[in-house]
């Protein structure tokens, strides 16, 4: 099996908000200062941003046939040819996929979420150096 990693760019702002959130624009908006705006994407700093991103990502994973591991909600798995499982490990916006068809999985995730760069074999994940053995 092969391993590939990817990093979701601007993770939180790719997620739609679940309900209407209003904001009064501050001085950094110059001529629009004081205007009321509706937030349509989960902005960083919004209390529910992390949960909204996780919910949006979970829907995407289910749509491409993965199910959440009962022991760890950051681990997703699906059967591959009735012989073994494929895995996707997610930590906020860092994604690692282990499969025989790694590019297919990351391509499907990449259709819903913009990635920082093309997925590649990981050299580091969550501060740990990785190497192929």
Average confidence (pLDDT) over 31-44: 84
Query: pLDDT tens-digit profile of 61-83?
Result: 999 999 999 999 999 999 988 88
Axis crossing angle, helix 49-63 with helix 102-112, rounded to the nearest 10: 130
pLDDT of residue 49: 81
Tell me whether residue 127 is in a domain: no
Tell me whether residue 91 is in a domain: yes
Average confidence (pLDDT) over 5-33: 85
pLDDT of residue 21: 80
Here the CATH number for the domain that contains residue 16 is 3.30.70
Q: Which residues pair with 34 in a beta bridge?
A: none
pLDDT of residue 71: 94
How far from 126 is each of 96, 129, 130, CA to CA, in Å? 11, 9, 10
Q: Which residues pair with 10 in a beta bridge?
A: none
Tell me whether residue 130 is in a domain: no
Tell me whether residue 79 is in a domain: yes
Total domains in the chain come to 1
| Percentage of the chain modeled with pLDDT above 90 | 33
Per the prediction, the chain carries an average pLDDT of: 87
- Per the structure, the complete domain to which residue 42 belongs is given by 2-122
How far from 118 is each of 5, 30, 54, 103, 109, CA to CA, in Å? 9, 37, 21, 10, 12
pLDDT of residue 35: 94
Tell me whether residue 103 is in a domain: yes
pLDDT of residue 77: 96
pTM: 0.77
Tell me whether residue 32 is in a domain: yes
Tell me whether residue 77 is in a domain: yes
């Amino acid at each position: 099996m092969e391993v590939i990693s990817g990093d979701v760019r601007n993770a939180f702002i790719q997620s739609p908000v679940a309900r209407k959130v209003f904001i009064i624009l501050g001085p950094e908006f110059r001529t629009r200062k004081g205007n009321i705006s509706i937030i349509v994407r989960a902005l960083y700093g919004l209390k529910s941003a992390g949960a909204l991103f996780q919910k949006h990502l979970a829907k995407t994973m289910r749509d491409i046939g993965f199910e959440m591991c009962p022991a760890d909600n950051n681990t997703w798995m699906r059967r591959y040819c009735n012989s073994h499982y494929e895995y996707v490990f997610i930590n906020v916006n860092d994604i690692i996929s282990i499969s025989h068809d790694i590019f297919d999985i990351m391509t499907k995730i990449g259709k819903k979420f913009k990635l920082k760069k093309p997925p590649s074999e990981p050299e580091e994940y969550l501060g740990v150096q990785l190497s192929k053995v």
